[in-house]
Structure 1
Amino acid sequence: MTKNWQHGFYKRSAQERRNLVKQMCALSDEQFATLENQATSLGDQLVENYVTDYHLPEGLLVGLVVNGREYTMPMVTEEPSVIAAASNGSQRVAQSGGFHASAEPRSLVGQVVLTNIDDYDALATWLSEHEETILTVANDAHPSMKRRGAGAKGLRVRIEPPFLSLDLLVDVSEAMGANSVNTMAEAVGAWLRKQGYTVLTAILSNLATESLQTVTCQVDPAHLATSDMTGPQVARRIALMSDLAQVDVYRAATHNKGIMNGIDALVLASGNDWRAIEAGAHAYAARDGHYRGLATWQVDGDRLVGRLTLPMPVGVVGGSIKTTPQSNTNYQISQIKSAQELAGVIAAAGLAQNLAALRALATSGIQAGHMKLQYRSLALSVGATIAEVPRLTKRLAQLSHVDRQVASDILAQIRKETNDGRREN
């Protein structure tokens, strides 16, 4: 490959980039057509070195009841079982009254980190004495936010030698707010430098402990029963699985990954930053120095009680939210109007996802239902047409061992049977 063909890549038009990629990466005509057919002028405005849009499937989570209201929520994911599991868990909880999402205060944290400090206590006192001035500096950097009744509302000092973090607590109203908080933090950092202090950095923290969202539910075990286990038996096993995720970090990581399966899919569909939500969730899971499962379940009397708390700093305006026609359409589908409402619904979906996963683990095992959905992806990956997928997946589901070679062999057999049938006719 010719050296430095990427030099000045960003200066080229999107079409020129695609042409160059085809030439230098030896794309087939079909592969090049994929890049061209999925390209949009909007995408070219959103990211650097743009060549095309990358499409992911979007489906709907149905039957999710939060605070007495039933929601239909768009979910974006390539994982076959995510939407099925979220809907399954949601419907089981709905039969027992649904989820309750608490109304929580909502602020983001902007860190202004100082170093080269001689006396930490003296600096902390000085910052406290100048709180009103510092908040004014922050709000003057983003006056439109304060006009809406939001903006920087308070300060917090954390000492971690050799650093001192001055945390701005910023009410971002209905916005995602990352850019606003960064602007405010940088303004305060610049002001502190003028006062003679050494500022190492000024930036938003994605550990949004001032934007926690809690959801709870109470499930009648009768809605958890299987053909082999009673509802109370299943409930007790789910509670034990929850206990395991509190003491075993290996189990906790998978426990939380399942929760984030549902949360990420909803956050992505809403136009919010799913990477920020992921980072904050996992950091919060380790807040006491031991990484734990975010969701907990316990048997209380004749009910299985679930609870999930995690940072959920989402917005319904600003940033990339509603930038694309699809995210705009998704808000029309969900009918969600406020950031607080969105946070509660997303967290509820995460708890629903967790319930479905733990019920499967506690009973038939995760693979029984998971693989039935995975077979569709496997069928497509070995070249099955849309018409061939149902026949191939049906046969794969009857086997005890399935891999790509097995799927390819069965697909070849199906095609032979189809061709033989045509010749007979």
Structure 2
Amino acid sequence: MTKFYELTTAERLQQLVAEGSLSAEDAALLKQATALPADVASHLSENQIGQFTLPLGLVRNLPVNGTLHQVAMATEEPSVVAAASNGARLAGLNGGVQATAAPHRVVAEVVFADLSDLTAAQGVLKAHEAELFQVAQAAHPSIVKRGGGLKQVTTTVVERFLKLRLLIDPSQAMGANISNTIAEAVAAAAGAWLDQPALVAILTNASAQLTTATVTLDPATLATKHEAGAVIAQRIAALSDLAHVDPERAATHNKGIMNGIEAAVLATGNDTRAVAAAVSAYSHERPLSTWTLVEGQLKGKISLPLPVGVVGGAISALPLAPVALRLGGFQTVATLQEALAALGLVQNLAALRALAGPGIQAGHMALQANALAMAAGAQGEEITLVAAALQGERKELAVAKRLLTQLRTKAGKNQ
């Protein structure tokens, strides 16, 4: 019997319909979703049955280190793009964001367990350290030609484990595959010297390489229709203080930051899970950004790990990922990291300004009207008309359905 993964996409859909997992209508929808070339989609995912498409929004003119970046964001949430755009505008009024990225490095671990003499084993590995560099170079010579590769080896005892920590320069790639290839080669060599196989050889998603972005704002530029800028600035600083003492607030504070970052990471073909894991390990229930009032100015700062690349893997395979990179002017990892950190900072600024002023729901729900209209079944021009009618109503699906029914009834009478 042919296994599911050996079937074509069309055959998989046919089988799912036959077994009752999908309706014929659902299968037809999956067949129609063809944003990617079929061969690309089928080779980027196992058991591929269709494609899941997200809108690609754009944050205009994000000012970072004197350069305006056009940042593509793959997200279904319009308020995320709107908030980031507003934050970029506010930063632009105040001289822009300054950002710096640490040298791009990835750490891999080769760990041995249950060795009879940890001290002696550690001595063996240290004695072979020069050979480990040779093994790493032979495992991935192309990265060495680009100036990357294994840069540092540290051998430590962690309770009953012996750990080789490999610091690797992946050049302009994110570096997961490069690091894992080097780690497995080092593990094989080290295992032969210790006469025992390694327990594990893989990169860690924790990262000590941080990207930092800062912005200084004149409170007057933060004014809303109903609040003076000085009041807004004071409340933003207070909200920041709250996030530092309240883990529950810190989680939402950081989620707002990651709204923009993850959408931009996805748009550039990078691994959103790797970024989320690195940020989670680093934050430890602390806010990623801090806002303080200093000599009458509101100063914002963010520091976080951003394990991304500008070449390799899905970045090169997904047709729109290189477009997003070219659109933003992201030719190096450092430039992308700096823009992502700046994006997170201005996203956070816009969210805190809304919380400090009219509240988060007013703008969010106004932008949700289109989604509610479509969920109610509106199509074509109906979406705009129902969304407009919703602005004076409760933003609820039942209300959207009622308005759509009224619109269609009226249109029928006028025909």
TM range (shorter): over 0.9
TM-score by structure 2 length? 0.94
1:35 lines up with 2:30 in the alignment: yes
Q: 2:131 aligns with which of 127, 133, 154?
A: 133
Q: Distance in 2 between matches of 1:261 and 1:165?
A: 35
Q: Is the 8 A contact 1:242 1:297 kept in 2?
A: yes
Q: Is the 8 A contact 1:80 1:377 kept in 2?
A: no
**Aligned-pair distance for 1:177?**
1.1
Q: Distance in 1 between matches of 2:29 and 2:39?
A: 15
In the TM superposition, what are the counterparts of 1:17-96 in structure 2 within 5 Å?
17-25=12-20, 27-39=22-34, 40-96=38-94
Q: Distance in 1 between matches of 2:132 and 2:54?
A: 44
Q: Is the 8 A contact 1:116 1:198 kept in 2?
A: no
Q: Distance in 2 between matches of 1:283 and 1:238?
A: 25
Would you say how many aligned residue pairs link Structure 1 and Structure 2? 411
**Aligned-pair distance for 1:389?**
1.9
1:403 lines up with 2:396 in the alignment: yes
Q: Distance in 2 between matches of 1:54 and 1:103?
A: 33
**Aligned-pair distance for 1:41?**
2.0
The alpha-carbon distance between structure 1 residues 103 and 12, as it changes in their structure 2 partners (threshold 3 A), is closer
What is the one-letter code of the residue matched to 2:207? A
Q: Distance in 2 between matches of 1:36 and 1:207?
A: 39
14-23 vs 145-154, which moves further: 14-23
Q: Distance in 1 between matches of 2:96 and 2:409?
A: 50
The aligned residue for residue 203 of structure 2 is 204
TM-score by structure 1 length? 0.92
The Cα offsets for residues 294-320 of structure 1, whole Å up to 9 and x where unpaired, read as: 111111112111111111121111111
Where do 5+ consecutive residues of structure 2 fail to align? Answer: none
Q: 2:4 aligns with which of 9, 15, 36?
A: 9
The alpha-carbon distance between structure 1 residues 25 and 41, as it changes in their structure 2 partners (threshold 3 A), is farther
The aligned residue for residue 388 of structure 1 is 382
Q: Distance in 2 between matches of 1:106 and 1:31?
A: 44
Residue 385 of structure 2 aligns to a residue whose secondary structure is: helix
**Aligned-pair distance for 1:251?**
0.8
Q: Distance in 1 between matches of 2:348 and 2:121?
A: 45
**Aligned-pair distance for 1:198?**
4.9
The aligned residue for residue 180 of structure 1 is 178
1:365 lines up with 2:363 in the alignment: no
Q: Distance in 2 between matches of 1:367 and 1:121?
A: 60
The alpha-carbon distance between structure 1 residues 103 and 310, as it changes in their structure 2 partners (threshold 3 A), is closer
**Aligned-pair distance for 1:376?**
1.2
In the TM superposition, what are the counterparts of 1:149-188 in structure 2 within 5 Å?
149-188=147-186
The aligned residue for residue 303 of structure 2 is 309
**Aligned-pair distance for 1:106?**
1.5
The aligned residue for residue 406 of structure 2 is 413
Q: Is the 8 A contact 2:125 2:190 kept in 1?
A: no
The aligned residue for residue 98 of structure 1 is 96
**Aligned-pair distance for 1:197?**
4.1
The aligned residue for residue 260 of structure 1 is 258
**Aligned-pair distance for 1:29?**
4.8
Q: Is the 8 A contact 2:104 2:333 kept in 1?
A: no
The aligned residue for residue 243 of structure 1 is 241
Q: 1:341 aligns with which of 335, 345, 370?
A: 335
The Cα offsets for residues 379-404 of structure 1, whole Å up to 9 and x where unpaired, read as: 111101131122222222213x4322
Q: Is the 8 A contact 1:71 1:334 kept in 2?
A: yes
In the TM superposition, what are the counterparts of 1:199-238 in structure 2 within 5 Å?
199-209=198-208, 211-238=209-236
The alpha-carbon distance between structure 1 residues 133 and 224, as it changes in their structure 2 partners (threshold 3 A), is same
The Cα offsets for residues 246-292 of structure 1, whole Å up to 9 and x where unpaired, read as: 12111111111111110011111111111100110111001xxxx10
What is the one-letter code of the residue matched to 1:35? L
Where do 5+ consecutive residues of structure 1 fail to align? Answer: none
The aligned residue for residue 189 of structure 1 is 187
Q: Distance in 1 between matches of 2:124 and 2:232?
A: 57
**Aligned-pair distance for 1:409?**
1.6
Identity %: 43
